[in-house]
Amino acid sequence: MTDPAGTAPYPLTWLYAPGDRPRVVARALTSGADVVIVDLEDAVAPDRKDYARAATADLLCEAGHPVPVHVRVNPLGTPRAERDVTVLAALPGLAALRLPKVTAPEQIVHLAETTPASAPGTTPLHALLESALGIERAHAIAAAHPSLRGISLGESDLRADLGVREDAGLDWCRSRVVVAARAAGLSPPAQSIHPDIRDLEGLAASCARGRTLGFLGRAAIHPRQLPVIERAYLPTEAELEQAETVVKAATAQQGAQALQDGTFIDAAVVAAAQRTLTLVRRT
């Protein structure tokens, strides 16, 4: 399984950079992030939107960036979003469009079937669910169209929509998105951003919690967050050793079996072990 834009399997770090600050975007591209997301939405003031779009178009006129470049456009259904898509979708340097505040599968279908692409097929899309309605329709959105390659949460807007103050109040929504992605055959979603760039301990704890819920990787808003996210999501030495044992046993003997320590393994356990090894070898 590959990520939403066909990059290396299982990207772990997705770094946002404001589209109206080309120098920040350039630094993001060499920051070590697996994917850079150029933001035309929340990070850009209204009077800078046109400049941000034009600067992003200049960036994407050529392919060959160090890492895939996604663009988060303005909210669907607005003139700005239409202009974002029209200007950017067919440019060769674009890896995917990220769509904020998605609430219905019809939005995905319409965009997928009307968007120009730089290569055969449609531009890869990624939906951000940021409202109660989006969460309720999570699976329908995830399964809406083959060009949709991923879904994830926008937790700041979702928190405000639900009136949730405590972090644990979003756990049900998080699990729903994880299940919806899996049911639709998509890659595991990445966690939403941790807004305090100084709170690296809190970020690590939050990543550990997200990992237990089934997320894989996380979006970031500052390069200093990237190593914390990567450490949290890369397998531990014990997990790697166990995965190697499982795969070795499965290679030697087909079918369900028990390891010497009594651990029962079957096809699902082997698949999980193979994913662990893929994460380790991703670089």
Model confidence over 130-156: pLDDT tens digits? 999 999 999 999 999 999 999 999 999
Among 67-76, 137-146, 166-175, 236-245, whose mean pLDDT is lowest?
Answer: 236-245
In this prediction, residues 46-56 reach a mean pLDDT of: 98
Written as one letter, the residue type at 154 is G
Residue-range domain boundaries for the chain? 13-233, 237-279
Instruction: Report the Cα 21 to chain-centroid distance in Å.
Output: 22
Structure pTM? 0.88
Please list the residues that pair with 72 across neighbouring strands: 39, 98
Closest CA to 219 of 153, 168, 166, 266: 153
Residue 282, annotated ligand binder?
no
CATH architecture of 13-233: Alpha-Beta Barrel (3.20)
Q: Residue 62 annotated as binding?
A: no
Whether 239 contacts 263, CB under 8 Å: no
Q: Is 50 annotated as a binding residue?
A: no
CB 214 within 8 A of CB 188: yes
